Amino acid sequence: MSSSPQATCTEDAAPDHISHVNEQLAQLREQIAALGVGKESKRDRQKLNQAIYKLELGDEYVAAVKERDAATKSEAAAATLVAEAAAAAARALEDAAAAAAIALLRHPTPARDKLELEQHYRQQVEALFDEYADHFEQALCEGLRYRTPDHLYAMLLERSGRTPTDIAEGILSRMAAVDFGCGTGLMGVQLRVACCGRLIGCDLSRGMLKVAATRHKGVYDELVASDAISFLRKLSPGSADLIVGCDVCVYLRSLEPMFAAAEAALCEGGVLAFSTESCTLEEASGGLPPNGDGFVERPSERIAHSPEYLHWLVASRGGTMEMVSLAEVDLRMDGARMIRGNIAIMAKRRAG
């Protein structure tokens, strides 16, 4: 590896390689812009986004950027370039992963074809996040200024209904806490210090789970490779007193399956907390169910849910759940724009 062009990129060659890669990136983005909206176009878009991601984080390209930074001796410029590269890579991955996760739902197909596509897109999403796992935290936290776990954890500590003992000891969970869609463990790191019982993480990507197990060793008592809804459905009824989903609902259209599975797994008084990207009710397709969806798909192909839809979810459970708090916060950057979203804290009512 040490004799490869990646490791011996000269100062003169670095600008040429950067220009060459940038030309390739521009061509790939032009191809994406020219795609239609059909099923085949979705697959082509996913492949092109993967190609962009690999170019932007390729060893030779990264080495060339470092050579250029060293030549200019500008630490400020270097930091900006790294942040821009990380943000671009993260956006490319988000577009590809979101497209894979929801393309099937956007284009209904016969049952057999639907099952085959579900399996195909699941494999693609797993592969994307597996490949991206090692760079995930840097790109998200530094490139996109991602602070959603901070907001969620703070609201959990501030929620009403906590016992004086829990407040004094800083405890959020004494039985079992679940971090669904845990990724590399950014949320779990914060939850660990507030959990007396077990902390369980689940994620679709085994690569993300591997990073969580090694980089944040000892945070989780158990890590499970599974999609969030299937995992929640397998939990014993009433076995968890805290269920948290950080930046997961952006890949879910209807939240009803997740909400029902979480409610069943919660004990009386247990808490469900999660983040969503936000939209207005006017943006949501047809308003609230049953007349509309309560959510909208953004051009990024991430799903944004209206606050009214979150209140509707609670009301639809017939009084078994209550909304403890709902707050709008800054989630992360998307280019030069800050994405706004909601942190929802809900609780399962006690009998009587």
Residues 27-80 have pLDDT tens digits of 887 787 787 766 677 778 778 877 776 776 667 777 776 676 566 555 555 555
Tell me: do 73 and 157 sit in the same domain. Answer: no
Measured distance CA(109)–CA(192) in Å, rounded:
43
Measured distance CA(349)–CA(60) in Å, rounded:
56
Q: How confident is the model over 168-197, as a mean pLDDT?
A: 96
Tell which wins on pLDDT, 212 or 51: 212
Q: What 3-state class would DSSP assign to 218? A: coil
| Domain residue limits at 166 | 148-348
Q: What 3-state class would DSSP assign to 36? A: coil
Measured distance CA(352)–CA(346) in Å, rounded:
18
Tell me: do 79 and 163 sit in the same domain. Answer: no
- In this prediction, residue 171 carries a pLDDT of 97
Mean pLDDT of the chain: 82
Tell which wins on pLDDT, 38 or 350: 350
- Which of these three, 108, 126, 143, is where a domain ends? 143
Whether residue 241 contacts residue 270, with contact meaning beta carbons closer than 8 Å, is answered with yes
Contacts by residues 76-83 (CB-CB < 8 Å, ≥ 24 positions apart): 82/142, 83/142, 83/143
> In percent, how much of the chain has pLDDT > 70?
71
286 class by beta-carbon count within 10 Å (0-12 exposed, 13-18 middle, 19+ buried): exposed
- In this prediction, residue 115 carries a pLDDT of 53
Core vs surface per residue 120-133: b (16+ CB within 10 A) or e: ebeebbbebbbbbb
Cα angle for residues 119, 115, 303 (degrees, 5° grid): 70
Q: How confident is the model at residue 5 (pLDDT cuts 50, 70, 90)?
A: very low
Q: By C-alpha distance, which of 28, 97, 98 is closest to 56?
A: 28
- Which of these three, 92, 122, 143, is where a domain ends? 143
- In this prediction, residue 251 carries a pLDDT of 85
Peptide bond into 290 cis (omega under 30): yes
- In this prediction, residue 2 carries a pLDDT of 40
Cα angle for residues 125, 276, 268 (degrees, 5° grid): 105
- In this prediction, residue 263 carries a pLDDT of 97
Tell me: do 175 and 253 sit in the same domain. Answer: yes
Whether the pLDDT of residue 289 is over 70: the answer is yes
Q: How confident is the model over 82-110, as a mean pLDDT?
A: 54
Tell which wins on pLDDT, 318 or 233: 233
Tell which wins on pLDDT, 14 or 349: 349
Tell me: do 291 and 157 sit in the same domain. Answer: yes
Tell me: do 335 and 295 sit in the same domain. Answer: yes
Q: What's the chain's length in residues? A: 352
Tell me: do 306 and 187 sit in the same domain. Answer: yes
The DSSP code sequence of 177-200 is: EEEET-TTSHHHHHHHTTBSSEEE
Tell me: do 167 and 273 sit in the same domain. Answer: yes
Tell me: do 175 and 100 sit in the same domain. Answer: no
Domain count for the chain: 2
Q: How confident is the model over 213-225, as a mean pLDDT?
A: 96
Tell me: do 171 and 103 sit in the same domain. Answer: no
Q: How confident is the model at residue 12 (pLDDT cuts 50, 70, 90)?
A: low
Cite the DSSP H helix spans in the chain.
13-33, 39-56, 59-72, 75-106, 111-132, 136-138, 148-158, 164-169, 186-192, 206-215, 228-234, 256-265, 307-315
- In this prediction, residue 19 carries a pLDDT of 84
Tell me: do 135 and 202 sit in the same domain. Answer: no
- In this prediction, residue 8 carries a pLDDT of 43
7-21, 138-152, 201-215, 220-234: lowest mean pLDDT where?
7-21
